[in-house]
Amino acid sequence: MTTKQDCIALDAQDPLRALRKLFNIPANTIYLDGNSLGVMPAATPARVADTVAREWGTDLIQSWNKNGWFAMPQQVGNKIARLIGAGANEVVATDSTSINLFKVLSAAMNIAAADAPQRKQIVSERSNFPTDLYIAEALCQQHGMEIVLVEPEDISASLTANVAILMLTHVNYRTGAMHDMAAVTAAAHAEGILTVWDLAHSAGAVPVDLMAAKADFAVGCGYKYLNGGPGAPAFVWVNPLHTDRFWQPLAGWWGHATPFEFTPDYRPAAGITRYQCGTQPIISLAALDCGVDTLLAADAHGGMAALRTKSLALTDLFISLVEERCAAQGLGLATPRDHAQRGSQVCLTRDEGAYAIVQALIARGVIGDYRAGDGDRHKDILRFGFTPLYIGFEDVWNAVEHLRQVLESGEWQRPEFNKKHAVT
């Protein structure tokens, strides 16, 4: 049996422990929701204040040149590229994940229309994050295509000659299950199918190597493991094989070859810059830059490989402590035990009370979240994210101890924990 002392000892030995002080962890809080909104880096308030008061407040419009605002989407993109196995000048930080997905799906549909017009299907997972499905559905309607939703074990069989695009989220938001990007991409390519990857729960959380996997398109989120702040700009990557073949219909001036010549006709910029559209929210982009910098500070401590090792140790510990200390409390495990199939979160299921249990934990300062199920296949979920940058092993012990108390005491059955909020 693991003890609290064991956990404290693990923290003492943790080579990444020094990174915790780079973050502002609120008092009396065990924050297991970094997969929804990452914690604020300690450096962010000063960085944002400088962007606001000096760059905007004093330098005003001159900041586009003087303070490098113009190149920020590319510069932040280049930093993100290092986390996802992309090359320099292949990523821009811009817009939202949904909008970037619209861009890359549009481009992928254009490629498919040119190269394999008989292919009319997009395959995705039924439990993919809904916005990805909504965007694909809207584009399918426009392009006379069809979206086919399957369970993860049926993906392989669904890759037929009718399929143009396989669109997957690398780490599932509900279960934390991770696809083998290289193997799935190879299987798709063997059938002549393009791949679009959503890295929302991967970038900064698990090792990603888009170029090694020969992926075609990817998008991802700035406000989860990149710690970019609420609603931080997202990012988009396109394999250089495809970048210059088509442009995308969100053809705004920031994707133009020469935006400040103000020509009436659209001429797309070379490379990933054509995946920009309008002016970006610079203050939020500065916060994202700071978040990515803070993550890259892990490079001095073993980088993404060390983060992955610790992430798996944290999620292994959480699973084993829940099973040891909350046995017979009706909890199930939705997240794969196999390391190769696990992201950086653990999802528990319970037939009754998942929402209220999460609320009771939040009241105790253990912040996870709840995701509603839709039946036997997808049960209600208690979702806990483990960001190895700032979560420790003692945190895991304490979180499970709170969970044990909430369940054993029946505390979660109090009426106040059943009140619904707009955002869950």
Q: Which is nearer to its own copies, 27 or 190 (CB)?
A: 27
Q: Which is nearer to its own copies, 261 or 338 (CB)?
A: 261
Residue 401: CB atoms within 10 A of its CB come to 16
Catalytically active residues, by annotation: 129, 198, 223-224, 383
Q: Which is nearer to its own copies, 38 or 392 (CB)?
A: 38
What is the C-alpha separation between 64 and 51, in angstroms, rounded?
12
To the question of whether residue 179 is assigned a binding role by annotation, the answer is no
To the question of whether residue 58 is assigned a binding role by annotation, the answer is no
**Minimum CB distance to its own copies, residue 192 (Å):** 24
Q: Which is nearer to its own copies, 100 or 185 (CB)?
A: 100
**Minimum CB distance to its own copies, residue 134 (Å):** 4
To the question of whether residue 355 is assigned a binding role by annotation, the answer is no
CA atoms 206, 211, 217, 222: torsion sign? positive
Which candidate, 376, 371, 359, places its Cα nearest to that of 418? 359
DSSP 67-123: T-GGGHHHHHHHHHHHHHT--TTSEEE-S-HHHHHHHHHHHHHHHHHHH-TT--EEE
List, in sequence order, the alpha helices (H) in 95-239: 97-115, 130-143, 155-158, 181-190
Q: Which is nearer to its own copies, 9 or 71 (CB)?
A: 71
**Minimum CB distance to its own copies, residue 281 (Å):** 3
What is the C-alpha separation between 90 and 238, in angstroms, rounded?
7
Compute CA 223 distance to the chain's CA centroid, rounded to the nearest angstrom.
8
To the question of whether residue 281 is assigned a binding role by annotation, the answer is no
To the question of whether residue 380 is assigned a binding role by annotation, the answer is no
In degrees and rounded to multiples of 5, residue 371 shows phi and psi of -130, 125
Q: Which is nearer to its own copies, 59 or 316 (CB)?
A: 59
CA atoms 320, 326, 328, 329: torsion sign? negative
CA atoms 71, 73, 77, 79: torsion sign? positive
Which candidate, 70, 101, 136, 73, places its Cα nearest to that of 248? 101
In degrees and rounded to multiples of 5, residue 91 shows phi and psi of -130, 140
**Minimum CB distance to its own copies, residue 139 (Å):** 7
What is the C-alpha separation between 108 and 278, in angstroms, rounded?
21
What is the C-alpha separation between 246 and 341, in angstroms, rounded?
34
Which candidate, 229, 166, 230, 228, places its Cα nearest to that of 198? 166
To the question of whether residue 223 is assigned a binding role by annotation, the answer is yes
**Minimum CB distance to its own copies, residue 324 (Å):** 28
To the question of whether residue 351 is assigned a binding role by annotation, the answer is no
**Minimum CB distance to its own copies, residue 75 (Å):** 13
To the question of whether residue 3 is assigned a binding role by annotation, the answer is no
88 CB-contact burial (10 Å; exposed 0-12 / middle 13-18 / buried 19+): exposed
Q: Which is nearer to its own copies, 133 or 304 (CB)?
A: 133
To the question of whether residue 417 is assigned a binding role by annotation, the answer is no
What is the C-alpha separation between 124 and 106, in angstroms, rounded?
16
**Minimum CB distance to its own copies, residue 105 (Å):** 11
In degrees and rounded to multiples of 5, residue 111 shows phi and psi of -65, -45
- State the binding site for pyridoxal 5'-phosphate: 97-98, 129-132, 169, 198, 201, 223, 253, 279
- State the binding site: 97-98, 129-132, 169, 198, 201, 223, 253, 279
